Chains A and B, each alone.
Chain A
Amino acid sequence: MSSARIVLAVDNLSVSFDGFKAVNDLNLYVEQNELRVVIGPNGAGKTTLLDLICGRTRATAGSIKFKDMELTRMPEYERVRRGIGRKFQTPSIYENLTVLENLEVSYPRGRTVFGSLFFRRDAAVMERVKEVAELIYLDERLDDAAELLSHGQKQWLEIGMLLMQDPELLMLDEPVAGMSVSEREKTAELLTRISSNRSVIVIEHDMEFVKRIAHRVTVLHQGKMLAEGSMDHVQADPRVIEVYLGH
């Protein structure tokens, strides 16, 4: 473990909303090429943790370091440009653009106002689009409007949009929610494939799915880390059982 490079280091992180501590003095370290799953009951602070890392929420205290860069004061788009990608819980795609355009818009070139004005769809862009589309099982649907996709396909499309940016850290909030069994299968495959050369943090409730993909699992409870380790390890932890099965 110590031999691998730490990509993300969260130290003593806290955030409070009008007195309510959604994340409380949390520490978390994610290694290179690791697929980490964060689980925990509702209100444990899982989504807030991702929000804090990607900048959607500002931390009250503590530090978030990505590749040894301090993130807490950085604007969101800067964090993305440094290599952090974030997928939201409900699929967040541009419904009225085509699949191709959705992916194209996410291509990490022409990100400034004027860059975008003079952006041209050249061979490099198309190559990357095709590559990603194939990965997310949508290579046949490039010219369709995104609103015509099924729910699961929309989830994939959003992941694809993130992959266009080739992030070093990918954060996915419940990627298989609302998916059919076969779609879950394909998603698990997809996640395994994409975590081969980047770190991934996944929030998920489906324990079977977690078991299948996770390298390591972190359990959050009331904004604090409750347990961390392999799936088998945390499942055996009495505190985790207590939290999940409750009183």
Chain B
Amino acid sequence: MKPTVLNAPSNLRAISRSLRTLLFGVMASVPLLVNAGTTTAEVNTTGLAVTDSVVKVGQLHSATGTMAISETGSIQAERLAIDQINEMGGILGRKIEIIQEDGASDWPTFAEKARKLLVNDKVAAVFGCWTSASRKAVLPVFEKENGMLYYPTFYEGLEQSKNVIYTGQEATQQIIAGLDWLAKTKGAKKFYLVGSDYIWPRTSNKIARKHIENVLKGEVVGEDYFPLGHTQFGSLINKIKLKKPDAVYSIIVGGSNVAWWKQLKAAGVTSDKQTILTISVTEDEILGIGGENMVGFYAAMKYFQSLDNDNNKKFVAAFKAKYGDKAVIGDVTQAAYLGPWLWKAAVEKAGSFDIDKIAAASPGIELKTAPEGYVKVHENHHLWSKLRIGEALADGQYKVIYESDLIEPNPVPKGYQ
């Protein structure tokens, strides 16, 4: 069975050549550690797919099925980062080759493909997964076969593994600062929590409730969950109207998202009448919802496409140059983009592709070139990052209206259990 080896096809290479000047800014800020002299025997003592000129990595996302909607951005961002790294001469003098696998939105398939990448292809790192379910499915495989996964999605936390670097926020990083902002600027005391019914929204709302009740001394006037894929939110909207919360805290995901926001608008719930803060709508989702249906509502993320800094401008330009002017970049897409860069930094710091050495070298790594500004890997393999509040605009972008300090990741928060 011959895997597709995506070796930066020549036309892509031509495009990226023309981008070289543009990319140079990104490259220049990263120390060039092209070290073609190291022998493979030195940098790879564990039989990974590393030769003198090539290192193979895996990419494991859903290209088909219901999750392809969300995971496409991550696939693109990881590709972009790897192309850029290859343009710069690769890692330890070796070009990166991608072996792409389709998880097909099916968790057992993720586990199967993860095993294939680690056992058969012996890839040096895997960039992939999106949903918690797919991560949970592959985690035992990564731990058993000792692989390294760069996981991009903001998620519920409650997990920490030597074999995973979490480049998205764990729950507390996304929630607490956002609630503080609501309480401070909107004077919110009464909160209504809604979510899709699975682990991430439930865990996030659990943390939110503790914070609202214990720290903000506010009140949760309602908490509702809907099956994934639910499309009727009329009753919920009426309940919200009845309870009149100061703020609605929304973690509705997937296909339900579109229904939820459209029905809010149709029920006359607009941003001048009701404050809503969501942690589950990135620019990617707005494509499906329609910017005009979200105007004035808030999202709490670590990254927005409109972020005004040089790193981000270069990143957005490169992304659009590669994937077209209409491409949008959401929080997870940016987090996925960090994965290859963080891996590169870790490999170079460790001077080796060996998983154990990378795992040990990762904490403390900084990425000053990150589009979100600056990130640093924590001992617990999550990233220090900031939280930002964006206000949705009609064109589908967010206007950043608040930015927190760097927040320490705390995946297993005490006092919030």
**Physical contact A–B (CB less than 8 Å):** no
